[in-house]
């Protein structure tokens, strides 16, 4: 399987631990997909500073292709600053300055590259909502992570990005099946085929438009929860694709249950290491 993760990169700075880890949703997913056996590629704007060199080193180490990333001269890598205590992080600030490398532009050349993938994964943090419709119409399965912020769940935002999404993932507070059905309904009505919510220690819940499946987690004591959702998504997507997942296909419950378990296994291993992928 060929997976392309399209979007953001950053470094995660743990200011109270004097640690810097490569990260960003798309980078994390690309690394974990490679570890799951996928032919994985990351595409996003890269800066030309030392932090970008740190990112490139990590991608290379994990067998992720990155050579088609635009490198922006005299730019800087975004820093996401946290305090981390007992494996849990508290957000402090984002540092970009005036020279941030910024979001990638979806050109006709890039769309040709993307069309060769089996799966494209992107997220709200890619900061390219107005460009996604042209990506979603391509042949690969399209997966989009809406994250946890309410500003990415407004009608205006959803109308912009919900064109042909095969899997939409959300980070949510725990919900009952009835609450989740109500949550998922507007996305299904916009054409989203699968709606998935990760709920921390309460596990995951998914709807394929006709049935809802829920899976509890086996608790572990985390070293670092950074990248838990990204690692879950990579394991889930790679496993579901092995079941014959294609663009526009509604997957059966057995394949979804297998993918949920695989995602949990990848995520459980990830939280035992520091950073988004234990670099």
User: What's the CATH code of the domain at 166?
Assistant: 3.40.1190.20
Domain of 55 in residue numbering reads as 2-270
- The b/e string for 49-81 (b: 16+ C-beta within 10 A; e otherwise) is bebbebbbebbeebebbbeebeebeebbbbbbe
In a domain, 276, yes or no: no
Strands lying side by side in the sheet with 88-95: 19-23, 10-14, 79-85, 88-95
pLDDT digits (tens, 9 = 90+) for 118-174: 999 999 999 999 999 999 999 999 999 999 999 999 999 999 999 999 999 999 999
Is residue 84 over pLDDT 90? no
* pLDDT, position 201: 86
* Mean pLDDT across the chain: 95
Q: Whole-angstrom Cα distance, residue 182 to residue 28?
A: 30
Q: Which two tokens stand for residue 81?
A: 């600053």
Number of domain units in the chain:
1
In a domain, 275, yes or no: no
Whether residue 279 lies inside any domain: the answer is: no
In terms of phi and psi (left: phi > 0; alpha: psi -120 to 50; beta: otherwise), the region of 200 is left
Q: Record the pTM.
A: 0.96
Distance (Å) of CA 164 to CA 46, 127, 139, 148, 249: 28, 18, 10, 21, 11
Instruction: Tell me if 277 is assigned to some domain.
Output: no
User: Which position has the higher pLDDT, 251 or 219?
Assistant: 251
The answer to whether position 278 is within a domain reads no
Give the Cα separation of 230 and 236 in Å (integer): 10
Per the listing, tokens 């890269």 go with: 46
Instruction: Evaluate whether residue 93 is within a structural domain.
Output: yes
pLDDT tens for 91-109 read 899 999 889 999 999 999 9
Report if residue 248 sits inside a domain: yes
Dihedral sign for Cα atoms in the order 147, 38, 257, 262: negative
Is residue 212 situated within a structural domain? yes
More confident residue, 201 or 65: 65
pLDDT tens readout for residues 197-250 = 999 889 999 999 999 999 998 778 888 889 999 999 999 999 999 999 999 999
């Amino acid at each position: 399987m060929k997976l392309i993760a399209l979007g953001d990169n950053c470094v995660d700075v743990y200011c109270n631990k004097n640690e810097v880890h490569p990260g960003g949703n798309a980078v994390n997913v690309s690394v974990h997909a490679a570890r799951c056996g996928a032919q994985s590629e990351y595409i996003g704007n890269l800066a030309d500073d030392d932090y970008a060199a740190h990112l490139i080193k990590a991608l290379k180490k994990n067998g992720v292709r990155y050579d088609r990333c635009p490198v922006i001269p005299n730019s800087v890598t975004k820093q996401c600053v946290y305090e981390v205590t007992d494996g849990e992080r508290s957000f402090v600030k984002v540092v970009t300055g005036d020279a941030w490398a910024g979001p990638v532009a979806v050109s006709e050349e890039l769309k040709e590259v993307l069309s060769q993938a089996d799966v494209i994964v992107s997220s709200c943090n890619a900061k390219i909502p107005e460009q996604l419709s042209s990506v979603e119409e391509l042949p690969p399965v399209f997966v989009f992570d809406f994250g946890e912020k309410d500003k990415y769940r407004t009608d205006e935002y959803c109308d912009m990005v919900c064109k042909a999404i095969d899997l939409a993932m959300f980070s949510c507070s725990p919900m009952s099946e009835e609450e989740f059905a109500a949550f998922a309904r507007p996305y299904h009505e916009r054409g989203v085929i699968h709606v998935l919510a990760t709920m921390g220690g309460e596990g995951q819940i998914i709807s394929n438009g006709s049935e809802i499946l829920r899976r509890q987690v086996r608790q572990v004591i985390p070293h670092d929860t950074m990248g838990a959702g990204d690692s879950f998504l990579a394991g889930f997507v790679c496993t579901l694709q092995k079941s014959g997942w294609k663009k526009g296909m509604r997957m059966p419950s057995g394949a979804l249950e297998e993918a949920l378990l695989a995602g949990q296994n990848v995520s459980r291993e990830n939280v035992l290491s520091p950073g988004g992928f234990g670099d």
